[in-house]
């Protein structure tokens, strides 16, 4: 019997669903799932999720909040309620993102992470099943470092460079999400090319470099490739710790029967090396400043997640007849 490409990849890698679509999660039954503000907004626009919005609004109203504060709290509650529904359909973890507007504020990120965890705990969900998703700015990484020290697991997202991955390793975060497709998009635009052979794909090769760095230095942080543009990119990273894949690509992989090999085998490439020196803030910021791709994509990613949350803010405000100050 010939197995699907998706099933073959699962022999090497944990597949994670990159979606807030509950039907897609039921269809593909991944171990874990990831969400972000864009995916939460998409889920909120589905008619079958209307009850989640209404429940979130009611709960926030009962806390005595009004106006924009009411809507912001309702978004947090909605985000957690969707996470709870996802967890009913999987056996592993769900990643829940801190408001991207807090990406440069360590203390505020820590506070928001604990608020989200408290909501999950109110619904009877153990913290071991939650990954707090934080943008991989210096401030975000330092927030994750403190949260991890308190036993709170973190997923550092919007990661585009080896030095971001290095700083995350220093912080002993549970998991990082290096973005494949956005790196490819950036290079295609910058170099004015329409495509790269998969062996030269800059997004794929960025994840491979991070994987090699982590395994050489015996870093325990998990690597989860994210932001895929094609099934070729997914197949090229078979063997990565985890890969988070959108439902349309999962469907394509399930329909294909291409042979898959482990592309990141520990048996082939990685001699151990002494632990790398920890990065300090000045070094981190200097390396980010000199990496135009990473610096631009980090900021544009943060801006995009902020905009998605603002769109959700407007959606909820209009739904419940509240005058919202945010305009998008």
Mean pLDDT, residues 53-67: 93
Among 133, 145, 208, 215, the active-site one is 133
Could you give the percent of the chain with pLDDT greater than 90?
83
Q: What is the pLDDT of residue 269?
A: 54
Q: What is the pLDDT of residue 199?
A: 95
Report the distance separating Cα 171 and Cα 237, nearest Å: 25
For the cut 90, the answer to whether the pLDDT of residue 58 exceeds it is: yes
Tracing tokens 């898959």 back to the chain, one arrives at 260
CATH number at residue 195: 3.20.20.70
- Within a domain: residue 303? yes
Mean pLDDT, residues 249-267: 90
Is the distance from CB of 58 to CB of 101 less than 8 angstroms? no
Q: What is the pLDDT of residue 328?
A: 44
Q: What is the overall mean pLDDT for the chain?
A: 93
pLDDT per residue over 268-319, tens digit each?
Answer: 556 677 878 999 999 999 999 999 999 999 999 999 999 999 999 998 898 8
What is the CB-side half-sphere exposure of residue 328 using CA atoms within 13 A? 16
- Within a domain: residue 136? yes
- Within a domain: residue 327? no
Report the distance separating Cα 103 and Cα 99, nearest Å: 8
Band the pLDDT of 267: cuts 50, 70, 90: low
- Within a domain: residue 324? no
What's the domain count of the chain? Answer: 1
Nearest Cα to Cα of residue 134 among 194, 175, 162, 163 = 175
Is the distance from CB of 112 to CB of 134 less than 8 angstroms? no
- Within a domain: residue 69? yes
Report the distance separating Cα 83 and Cα 102, nearest Å: 20
Nearest Cα to Cα of residue 128 among 157, 156, 91, 158 = 91
Domain residues for the domain of 279 are 5-319
Q: What is the pLDDT of residue 43?
A: 84
- Within a domain: residue 145? yes
Report the distance separating Cα 157 and Cα 307, nearest Å: 17
DSSP, res 137: S
> Does residue 215 have an active-site annotation?
no
Helix (H/G/I), strand (E/B), else coil: 113: helix
Taking each continuous run of H as one helix and of E as one strand, the counts in the chain are 14, 8
pLDDT per residue over 167-179, tens digit each?
Answer: 999 999 999 999 9
């Amino acid at each position: 019997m010939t197995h699907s490409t998706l099933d073959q990849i699962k022999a090497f890698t944990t597949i994670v669903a990159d979606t807030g679509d509950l039907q897609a999660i039921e269809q593909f039954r991944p171990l874990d799932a990831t969400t972000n503000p864009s995916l939460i907004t998409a889920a909120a626009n589905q008619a079958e999720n209307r009850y989640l919005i209404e429940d979130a609004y009611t709960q926030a109203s009962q806390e005595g909040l009004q106006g924009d504060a009411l809507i912001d709290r309702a978004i947090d509650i909605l985000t957690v309620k969707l996470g709870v529904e996802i967890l009913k359909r999987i056996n592993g973890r769900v990643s829940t993102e801190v408001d991207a507007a807090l990406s440069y504020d360590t203390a505020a990120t820590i506070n928001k992470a604990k608020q989200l965890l408290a909501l999950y705990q109110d619904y009877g969900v153990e913290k071991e099943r939650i990954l707090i998703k934080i943008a991989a700015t210096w401030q975000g990484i330092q927030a994750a470092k403190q949260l991890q020290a308190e036993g709170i697991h973190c997923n550092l997202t919007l990661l585009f460079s080896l030095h971001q991955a290095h700083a995350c390793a220093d912080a002993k975060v549970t998991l990082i999400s290096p973005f494949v497709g956005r790196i490819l998009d950036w290079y295609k635009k910058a170099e004015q090319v329409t495509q790269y052979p998969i062996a030269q794909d800059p997004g794929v090769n960025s994840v491979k470099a991070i994987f090699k760095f982590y395994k050489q230095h015996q870093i325990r942080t998990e690597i989860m490739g994210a932001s895929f543009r094609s099934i070729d990119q997914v197949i090229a990273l078979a063997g990565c710790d985890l890969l988070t894949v959108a439902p349309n690509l999962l469907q394509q992989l399930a329909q294909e029967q291409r042979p898959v090999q482990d592309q990141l085998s520990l048996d082939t490439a990685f001699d151990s090396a002494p632990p790398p020196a920890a990065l300090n803030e000045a070094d981190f910021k200097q390396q980010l400043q000199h990496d135009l791709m990473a610096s631009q994509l980090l900021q544009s990613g943060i801006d995009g997640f902020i905009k998605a949350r603002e769109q959700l803010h407007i959606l909820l405000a209009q739904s419940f007849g509240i005058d919202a100050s945010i305009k998008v």
